[in-house]
Amino acid sequence: MVTTTLKTTRSEEIFAAAQKLMPGGVNSPVRAFKSVEGSPIVFDRVKGAYIWDVDGNQYIDYIGTWGPAICGHANPEVLAALKAALEKGTSFGAPCYLENVLAEMVIDAVPSVEMVRFVNSGTEACMAVLRLMRAFTGRDKVIKFEGCYHGHADMFLVKAGSGVATLGLPDSPGVPKSTTANTLNAPYNDLEAVKQLFAENPGEICGVILEPVVGNAGFIAPDAGFLEGLRLITQEAGALLVFDEVMTGFRIAYGGAQAKFGVTPDLTTMGKVIGGGLPVGAYGGRREIMQMVAPAGPMYQAGTLSGNPLAMTAGIKTLELLQRPGTYEQLDRITKKLADGMLQVAQETGHAACGGQISAMFGFFFTAGPVHNYDDAKTADTAKFGRFHRGMLEQGIYLAPSQFEAGFTSLAHTDEDVERTLAAARTVMAGL
Ligand SMILES: Cc1ncc(COP(=O)(O)O)c(C=O)c1O
């Protein structure tokens, strides 16, 4: 057990009050410390790789607001662009040139995307893409993978990842059975299971949606040939392949996991990084499919704030920064140093652990592994992770408060930050 030296009086006061005002005291369940020790830290400000809480403690942040902060928090160039945009107003509810600019950037970057529709969150993007998959194919059933998270829409809340996994709520009340009757689940990295589902449901499956690199069951990489296999199986079945790149888009590579692995899906969902810290989601893909979306076609989907000028501005500036030479090499180098270092520390201190990293996304599990799917991830020692998480907080390191979440680095993380993190991990693991 790690001794508590962190002064969090103000955080605790605010969180106690918050619990009377909002369910569980938070506006998104993953922020609650339900599966780790202690109560959530309440934050006051962010800058670069750091966050400061309301008691004045500073932490090195490896959540990066769950992915968007890839250029570092409150990046000065993003802030300057936002301040200029703010002067022109916060919302138009009408076409705006900035939408064209960001759309062109996304289309140029992401191999599968010939047309794009902006929405306000990853959840919205995934909801809409499933409607589109069904509209285009005329089929209702969809295959997803256990432990993958595609937002909180009813159809996806079956054996989902992220907060659903952390809180152990595989099937949420309030989701009618009829809504999920068409959602088929397969274990991640299991092509045979996918083939079997197609064989059992001939001509009924609209497609397969997945996180091409999983972040919501902890970090799980696709096995060699898995993405290629899905591409082949879906093509043969006349079904669509959809990469949910809400987390991996512009993070695994500028063109997302599809660029990194050279497998082009039919449709892609995005979010997080493309909003540069403001609420944005997007879905896009082949022109003939996207032409189904209203008002070009009959599939309805709309949004009051979609294409919001501030969100477009933050997204455009963030992507411009990411286009600079050496960006992804730096992200990969710093993240590899962190991920390899963590495993090394675990080994030196006698803890079974496995994990990995691709570009600026990483994770590790307290289990010998290997972890290929959600069932493997569940063998990890979550109680030990809970103590580790608290210990790292005490040392000024802010990790995602769940074993079933990936971690994120940014361009603002330095070698010194990583070295401090590994030194902290050594101290904490030695005491576990
Ligand atoms: C892969 C993936 N899809 C969808 C979502 C939902 O996005 P949002 O939280 O913006 O609704 C997330 C959120 O973490 C995600 O990681």
CB-ligand 1 contact for 123 (6 Å cutoff): yes
Pairing of strands 205-210, 183-186: unpaired
pLDDT at 426 over 70: yes
Inter-residue contact 240 to 228 (CB < 8 Å): no
For the residues 401-413, what does the mean pLDDT come to?
Answer: 96
For the residues 15-26, what does the mean pLDDT come to?
Answer: 95
What is the three-state SS of 375-403?
A: HHHCCCCHHHHHHHHHHHHHCCEECCCCC
For the residues 404-415, what does the mean pLDDT come to?
Answer: 97
In the chain, pLDDT over 90 holds for what percent of residues?
90
pLDDT at 171 over 80: no
CB-ligand 1 contact for 147 (6 Å cutoff): no
CB-ligand 1 contact for 214 (6 Å cutoff): no
CA gap 91, 260 in Å, rounded: 35
CB-ligand 1 contact for 122 (6 Å cutoff): yes
Give strand pairing partners of 354: 365
- Mean pLDDT computed over every residue of the chain: 95
Q: Give me the active site residues, please.
A: 149, 244, 272
State the distance from the centre of ligand 1 to the C-alpha of 271, rounded, in angstroms.
Answer: 7
Given this model, what pLDDT does residue 162 score?
Answer: 73
pLDDT at 164 over 80: no
**Site to substitute for ligand 1 among 129, 148, 246, 270, most atoms within 8 A of C-beta:** 246
Give strand pairing partners of 352: none
pLDDT at 1 over 80: no
pLDDT at 411 over 70: yes
State the distance from the centre of ligand 1 to the C-alpha of 155, rounded, in angstroms.
Answer: 14
**What is the position in ligand 1's atom list of the atom closest to the CA of 279?**
10
Displacement of CA 280 from its chain's centroid (Å): 13
For the residues 159-172, what does the mean pLDDT come to?
Answer: 74
Domain with CATH 3.40.640.10 in the chain: 76-322
pLDDT at 168 over 80: no
pTM of the model: 0.97
pLDDT, one tens digit per residue, over 108-143 is 999 999 999 999 999 999 999 999 999 999 999 999
User: Which H or E element spans position 270?
Assistant: strand 267-270
The more confidently predicted of residues 71 and 38 is 71
CB-ligand 1 contact for 212 (6 Å cutoff): no
Cβ within 8 Å of residue 352, ≥6 positions away: 346, 366, 367, 368, 381
State the distance from the centre of ligand 1 to the C-alpha of 123, rounded, in angstroms.
Answer: 6
pLDDT at 270 over 50: yes
State the distance from the centre of ligand 1 to the C-alpha of 51, rounded, in angstroms.
Answer: 22
**Site to substitute for ligand 1 among 245, 272, 278, 306, most atoms within 8 A of C-beta:** 272
Give the architecture-level CATH label for domain 76-322: 3-Layer(aba) Sandwich (3.40)
CB-ligand 1 contact for 244 (6 Å cutoff): yes
Given this model, what pLDDT does residue 2 score?
Answer: 44
Residue nearest to atom 7 of ligand 1 (CA): 122
pLDDT at 267 over 60: yes
**Site to substitute for ligand 1 among 148, 247, 273, 374, most atoms within 8 A of C-beta:** 247
- Residue 202 main-chain phi, psi, to 5 deg: -60, 130
CA gap 397, 384 in Å, rounded: 17
pLDDT at 3 over 90: no
Inter-residue contact 385 to 399 (CB < 8 Å): no
pLDDT at 167 over 80: no
State the distance from the centre of ligand 1 to the C-alpha of 152, rounded, in angstroms.
Answer: 8
User: Which of 130, 141, 219 lies closest to 186 in space, CA to CA?
Assistant: 141
CB-ligand 1 contact for 121 (6 Å cutoff): yes
CA gap 218, 376 in Å, rounded: 11
CB-ligand 1 contact for 408 (6 Å cutoff): no
pLDDT tier at 170 (50, 70, 90 boundaries)? low
pLDDT, one tens digit per residue, over 61-88 is 999 999 999 999 999 999 999 999 999 9
Q: For the structural domain made of 9-62+326-430, what CATH number should be given?
A: 3.90.1150.10
30-39, 188-197, 222-231, 365-374: least confident range: 30-39
pLDDT tier at 144 (50, 70, 90 boundaries)? very high
Inter-residue contact 119 to 306 (CB < 8 Å): yes
CB-ligand 1 contact for 149 (6 Å cutoff): yes
State the distance from the centre of ligand 1 to the C-alpha of 128, rounded, in angstroms.
Answer: 13
**What is the position in ligand 1's atom list of the atom closest to the CA of 28?**
9
pLDDT tier at 163 (50, 70, 90 boundaries)? confident
Number of H helices, E strands in the chain: 15, 14
pLDDT, one tens digit per residue, over 356-372 is 999 999 999 999 989 99
Give whole-number Cα distances, 254 to 64, 105, 197, 273, 356, in Å. 18, 10, 33, 10, 20
Helices (H), 172-262: 177-180, 191-200, 226-236, 256-261
State the distance from the centre of ligand 1 to the C-alpha of 2, rounded, in angstroms.
Answer: 32
Domain with CATH 3.90.1150.10 in the chain: 9-62+326-430
User: Which of 187, 156, 149 lies closest to 171 in space, CA to CA?
Assistant: 156
pLDDT tier at 4 (50, 70, 90 boundaries)? low
Task: Name the DSSP letter for residue 223.
Answer: P
**Site to substitute for ligand 1 among 150, 268, 278, 408, most atoms within 8 A of C-beta:** 150
User: Which of 86, 207, 189, 186 lies closest to 136 in space, CA to CA?
Assistant: 207
What single string gives the DSSP state of each residue in 34-87? SSSSS-PPPEEEEEBTEEEETTS-EEEESSTTTTT-TT-BT-HHHHHHHHHHHT
